[in-house]
Structure 1
Amino acid sequence: MGSSMVHPQASLVSHSTAQTGAFHLGPVRGGEGGSYTCLYQVTMPRQGPANSTASHPVLVTVTELLPVPTLSLQSQAGEWALVCTGSPAFPGARFSLYRLGSTFPDATRSAPATRYRALFALSSLPAQDSPLSDQYQCQYSSLLGAEWSHSERSPLVAVPRAIEKTTTSPPSSPGLTGVDWPLVLSCLSVVVLFFIVLVGVGVAVQRKVKAIVEEKRKREGALLWAKLNSRDHVLDLTLKRVSITSQEWGNDDSAAETAFSRSPPWRTLSTFGNTPSS
């Protein structure tokens, strides 16, 4: 490697006593793997500091448990968002979004148990004063056993200020850009309910009027039959008895005929209407 590390205890070495310098590394990331060598330095009375020759190189390989995520700028349902995608082998991870040069994340999201990516809407991020663009990185963490394991940060993604301003601009009135469908549906439901009630009232009134007319018709029919029954009468014509002597019968036939014509020898019974039978 091109860098070096000096142990604080290796500042002086005695010729008679062997000393060991221990170097503790961690946390280790993928970029810290490579070949390592060591040397020591002594201070001579007359020559001053003198370095030893380097040791044999030691190859250090760092195996990353969490692969590096990817960060992309996408449009989701008309809104711009940063999408951080981790490894499919670690679903349900916790994702963090960092602005360039920031130690603390601007936002943190936990993915569902079956997903391995998180979405960060630009409208939910804190505003910055950068004149041109903002640069972001993301990182995800997963609980492995009893400890959290963290991935490296993703490559930088620049978000133009023009996109961020468009995304974070206040929404316009619903009446200018679209239809407020919940309000429209509620109004329609009220109108339909009103017509249902109106039709129900109309049917009830019609049935009531029909019942009144039927009752009136029955009452008029009953009155008509009562009047007809009250008009029934019997005309009784009774024959008058006329006594005629033999002399009168022989002497005056015309007078007998006249008397007989006035009083016929039978009873005439005339009935109008319904005559009760005897």
Structure 2
Amino acid sequence: MCNPQGSNPQRNALTTELQDSADAKEPSVPEAPTLTSSVRGSSVELLCKAPLGSGGVQFKLFRVHQEIDKKTYSRKQQEAPFVLKGEESKKPNLYCCQYDNSMYSSYISPEVKSIVSVNPPSPPELKVHPSNDYIVTGQTLAFNCQTPPSSLNQRPDAFLLIRKSRGTPSSMLASPKLVSRSQQPSFSVEAMGREDSGEYACLYQLTLPKTGRVNSTASRPVHITVIDLPVPTLSLSHHVLKCVGSPSYPQASFALFRVGSSSPEATRQFSLTQHHAQFPITNRYDHDTPYQCQYNVQMGNSHLHSKKSNTVNLPCNKGRCASPSAGNPGSSDLALIIGSVSAGVLFLMVVSLLSFAIHTRLKTLALKRRKREQDHFWQQLHSGNHVVDLPLQRVDCEFEDFRRKPSLSEPIYDIPMSTFTKPPLY
């Protein structure tokens, strides 16, 4: 058993007698814990474990007779780990432990031969395509982490691509950022902005029998700078296409493209003082066709291309327009037929509406004219005062002698018949 107080036999005997006499009057002392050791890389872990059903809030570790470590918990624990690092883990010593006021554990001596110092595996080689120091936003980089050909006897478990921004300490692993982790040595990374600039490196991981998983040394870093080139603008004015780039890059070359074509229609070399270029419209251009422009700059050994500009359609020039595409004539004919039928239906609707409106108008005018004529007739009729004197004479006729001349007599009526200027009121 562990005896941190010393190894004097007489003193041990006296202590044993005192403990035996105390045991008869006081509760028994908690049972002794067990102490085990295990290797964790370049260190040794000692685990002090109380018996099942027991525990303590304070655990102590002793080297021979000296207390070298102590752990205190807020509530009872059954076990407590202690770690030996550096030179302590390499010396052959005796260790024991105790929890609270328990008995001491047995001495153990960790095996020094199991503590092996392992150097990290050899660094890989990192290659990138395109191999330019400068790239533009949106460009994709292809990294390839190549392990040493002869130093490895097993395949790596994983490959890691890391990045460290400029301006940090020179150590590559001081504050790296994990970009990607894969079981394959190839990585594809799209530069989203200037924050993706920095030093890129890769490493691989291996699982060794004695030390477990270890990381290799990082590869040589690759410097990448991401540049955000502004998108140019294209405009049409006075039969000239004008492409405007960025004032920050005056020494740029400009190119004019027809939409859908990868070959430029025309190019303009850079100017030391201007950041735009003009492309006069000639007859060789396809009119009524969209065009775009682009500029590129040289940074170090890299040629950087901006994104393409907005599209501008060239107007028809004296009736000359681009011929319709012959890729799908059936669609063009169908569109032409539908357009013609729509135009005919619309024309018939307009003619019908005009005819109905004209007929309604003529009918209204005829009714008004007839009414005016009737009003005029009655006005003329009522404006005159005509008197007709028709005296009626009595004629005496006798049946016996009806051939004789009739005798004249007074009129039958004293008031002659006449028309009235105004009709009587009833």
Q: Classify the TM-score, shorter chain.
A: 0.3 to 0.5
Q: Which has the higher contact order (CA 8 A, sep 6+)?
A: 1
TM-score, structure 1 normalization: 0.35
Instruction: Flag the structure with higher strand content.
Output: 2
Instruction: Flag the structure with higher helix content.
Output: 1
User: Considering only CA atoms, is the larger Rg found in Structure 1 or Structure 2?
Assistant: 1
